[in-house]
Amino acid sequence: MADRATYERRRQRLMDLVGDGAVILLMAPPEKTRNADVTYPYRTSSDFYYLTGLAEPESALVLRPGSSAPYVLFVRDKDPDRERWEGRRIGVEGALGQFGADEAHPIEELEGRLSDLLANATELVYPVGENPEADRTVGEAIASLRRRPRKGKRPPARIADPHYSLHEMRLRKDEGELETLRRAAAITGEAHRAAMASAGAGITERELEALVDYTFRRRGGAGPGYGTIVGSGENATILHYVENDRTLTGEELVLIDAGCEFEFHTADVTRTFPASGQFSPPQRQVYELVLRAQREAIELARPGGTLADLHDRCVSILTEGMVELGLLEGPASARIEDESYKRFYPHQTSHWLGMDVHDVGTYSVSKKPRPLEPGMVITIEPGLYISEAEEVPAELRGIGVRIEDDVAITDGAPEVLSAGTPKSVSEIEQACRARLHDAEAS
Ligand SMILES: [Mn+2]
């Protein structure tokens, strides 16, 4: 949790944005059942945490700019019996004291109090369609205002999506967020390094996944911010490979896409390395092509540039390389034109990154690619994926490479948050060799 002033500043900023008379309503997402009475590990929504620092389920936030008590929280009330089984709760006192709410109530009172809180709002900022139970509660409150027009009480004039206010704020990271993302990226780099030092014939993808997860948690992270991908050999050519159950032979490339979630912010880093510790010539050719594309794209990550510029640059370098490698017939310009490069590079180069791995924020403004601004954080992740089934030079089949870094836009040169993760051929081979020294030492 950041300091209280950070959340206070964010709430004030949002209230200034939407203006006096509006009401902002966010509800923590419900817990999800895995089976019987077992739930999935709970993680509240990023929007909710961003404004409150509160991670408990069954909570609701109401902000009423311009009112005398603008910050209202609904939380689970203290209950020693339930807490003994389910864990601690902040309770109404904690919401007022620890979290600084102007007003706090038990969550059970939300339904009864909501219509009064929403009455006469010029605008209700609320994410319709995210949570059916919450939608029902909001719908009821609005309907009751409409059905029984008590003296001077009307439903909100319109409903606005948080997309236009809150998500614009989250798109530009404050200094505290950048620092948190730096730490998430540093831990992530350590995990990738550990995996490189441990890979080799006989080890399974799952063991590498466990090592990554262990490194995240032992360094204070909450765990992975998204499903860790460990794809070896042909599996590296499957973009969102999740099984992670193959045993390495020692000849193949290993692609790991993994990011640590730290304080509700996640890194998103991919590295590809040889299980043997040394790239074979064809593996190295493909790797260095992707690396060149990635480095040139990073250079373009500056104010005024766009994610489309970065992607176009990658497509151009990768397609020329595909022609040189004999994957495609030249000329490259024709292969870009007819989009046949997508056979080996089917995805986009970048996405927003922050509290969520695919973070909030629109990618275009007035139908044009959005210009980058200082404080935005993006991934840059070109790749090349050549499945075994492709009719291409035999030595290239089954090679999948992706290289992904997390990059903060600044006033000047881009800041690569994940710069501590080995990336050049020599850095990677050195990180892989670390195991040999360990073995010799023991
Ligand atoms: Mn990514």
pLDDT tens-digit series, residues 298-311: 999 999 999 999 99
Q: Distance between CA 347 and CA 80 in Å, rounded?
A: 51
How far apart are the CA of 290 and the centre of ligand 1, in A? 15
Q: In the predicted model, what is the mean pLDDT of residues 3-30? A: 96
Which pair of structure tokens corresponds to residue 111? 């339904």
The pLDDT of residue 2 is: 81
Among 82-86, 249-253, 426-430, the minimum mean pLDDT is found in 82-86
Residue 303 in tokens: 């104010």
SS (H, E, C) 222-284: CEECCCCEEEEHHHHHCCCCCCCCCECCCCCEEEEEECEEECCEECCEEEEEECCCCCCHHHH
Distances (CA, A) of 397 to 288, 317, 401: 16, 20, 12
Tens digits of residue pLDDT in 205-243:
999 999 999 999 999 999 999 999 999 999 999 988 888
Ligand 1 midpoint to CA 356 (Å): 11
Instruction: Please give the distance, rounded to the nearest whole angstrom, from the Cα atom of residue 87 to the centre of ligand 1.
Output: 34
Percent of the chain with pLDDT over 70: 98
CA of 347 to the centre of ligand 1 (A): 10
- Give residue limits of the domains in the chain: 4-169, 172-441
Confidence band, pLDDT 50/70/90 cuts, at residue 437: low
Rounded to the nearest angstrom, the gap between the alpha carbon of residue 196 and the centroid of all alpha carbons in its chain is 23
Q: pLDDT-derived band of residue 294, with 50, 70 and 90 as boundaries? A: very high
Ligand 1 centroid from CA 341, angstroms? 20
Instruction: Decide yes or no: CATH 3.50.30.50 for domain 172-441.
Output: no
Mean pLDDT of the chain: 95
Tell me phi and psi for residue 303, to 5 degrees.
-50, 135
Could you tell me the distance, in angstroms and rounded to a whole number, from the CA of residue 297 to the centre of ligand 1? 15
Structural element, H or E, at residue 298: helix 281-299
- Strands 103-106 and 415-416, sheet pairing: unpaired
- Stretch 177-198: mean pLDDT, rounded? 97
Residue 352 CA, ligand 1 centroid: distance in Å: 9
Kindly give the distance from the C-alpha atom of residue 431 to the centroid of ligand 1, in angstroms, as a whole number: 22
The conformation of residue 357, written as its DSSP 8-state character, comes to S
pLDDT tens per residue across span 354-376: 999 999 999 999 999 999 999 99
pLDDT tops 60 at residue 439: no
Say whether pLDDT at 150 is over 90. Answer: no
What type of residue sits at position 395?
Answer: E
* Predicted confidence band of residue 154 (pLDDT cuts 50, 70, 90): very high
Would you identify the CATH topology of the domain 4-169?
Creatine Amidinohydrolase; Chain A, domain 1 (3.40.350)
Active site residues: 37, 240, 257, 268, 347, 351, 358, 381, 385, 402, 404
